[in-house]
A and B are shown apart, each in its own frame.
Chain A
């Protein structure tokens, strides 16, 4: 597609339920990133992939959070046993190449607004 697509746009779930957030990056983009953005804050890094390999998951808050990108394209961020503090905007971004390190700009999706009640 033309841009990064995330679904659903909004997700309301009850505490204790599992949720899966989907990201479809720009076609051909090698790297895929997940960020979390709390209200009034900037995006915070969670994890990223080059192709299907998860390169860094140091930003995942705890072991309830996991992510996968099995075929190097679409990615899923899963939160198990959700808690109210997980409520935030979850943003996905993709980047064309890895070769420039941090220099190649990230292209962001519109995000998934997660509310845990």
Chain B
């Protein structure tokens, strides 16, 4: 079964500084990988996804993530954060088999705090 680990429960970053949120996954083959963002009172919004091909993927709101097979990681990055980026961020893995529960398995999330 697949699993996702987000080692940082909270991250505090100054506005304008760069950001990296860590995500490690466990899966028997090359997975599908996703980052979602959850703002207070809102649903989960997809930031970006990796299916195959180029390991550096671009998403919305200036985010990017890099798939590193050797490290089983899919870290999320942004060069310069804005106060509006304060939210909960979830990494998720999807199975390629299509059988059984082909939904997503989520990590526990990282709460991003932006300092003025």
Give residues in A with beta carbon < 8 Å to B: 3-4, 33, 35, 40-45, 48, 55-56, 58-59, 91, 93, 98-103, 105-111
Contact = CB atoms under 8 A, between A and B. Distances in A.
Contacts of B105: 45
A83 B109 CA distance: 26
Interface of B: 4, 31-32, 34, 36, 41-46, 49, 51, 90, 92-109
Contacts of A91: 43-44
24 contacts: A3-B43, A41-B108, A42-B4, A42-B106, A42-B107, A45-B103, A48-B101, A48-B102, A55-B100, A55-B101, A59-B101, A91-B43, A93-B44, A99-B98, A101-B32, A102-B94, A102-B97, A102-B103, A102-B104, A103-B94, A105-B34, A105-B46, A108-B44, A109-B43
A102 B109 contact: no
B44 A100 contact: no
A33 B103 contact: yes
A96 to B, nearest CB: 13
B109 A41 contact: yes
